[in-house]
Amino acid sequence: MEGGGVEAELTALAASGATTLVQLMAGDAWATVRDRVRALFGRDRSGQAQTADMELEEARAAVAAAANSDDRAALAGIESRWQARLLLLLREDPAAQAELRALLAAAGHSSERGTTVHNTVSGGDIRGPVIQAGTIEGDLHFG
């Protein structure tokens, strides 16, 4: 693969990773993946895991504040910073690519572009509302 192709692949992986990271920080799943993310940034680097842990917690607080105030620009800025950080990590440590892909798979997100979702409804004549969503918080009422 050409150098440009490798760089494009790393950039896409970093973008997917940053998007997933910010989404995880905003939700309850963060507690289950935080240690894996911390380990990813602290790989083979003395003292880096502790620094990464502090930076991740600061970012999580910023994500929570931005999400609560629906500040999309702030969320995009946080995501952009983590994308740059991931890209640098992936360039410096090619083994981190496999670890990031595994983390994305564990988080239930695809690191590949162009992933599509297919829904199938079966079982006869179905009438009523259909809801398609990643996360629903609160009650749903129809009528």
44 contact partners, CB below 8 Å, separation of at least 6: 93
Supply the pLDDT for residue 110: 39
pTM confidence score? 0.69
What's the rounded mean pLDDT across residues 17-23? 92
Report pLDDT for 69.
Answer: 92
Is residue 121, in this structure, part of any structural domain at all?
no
| 127, part of any domain | no
Which residues make Cβ contacts (< 8 Å) with residue 60, sequence separation at least 6?
A: 25, 30
Q: Is 47 within a domain? A: yes
Over residues 86-129, the pLDDT tens digits come to: 999 999 988 899 999 999 988 874 334 444 455 566 666 666 66
Q: Is residue 26 part of a domain?
A: yes
In a domain, 124, yes or no: no
Is residue 38 predicted with pLDDT exceeding 50? yes
What percentage of the chain carries pLDDT values higher than 90? 38
Question: Is 120 within the bounds of a domain?
Answer: no
Domain enclosing residue 92, as ranges = 3-106
User: With bands split at pLDDT 50, 70 and 90, how would you rate the model's confidence at 3?
Assistant: low
- 129 within domain boundaries: no
Q: Tell me whether residue 98 is in a domain.
A: yes
Closest to 15 measured CA to CA, from 71, 82, 98: 82
How many structural domains compose the chain? 1
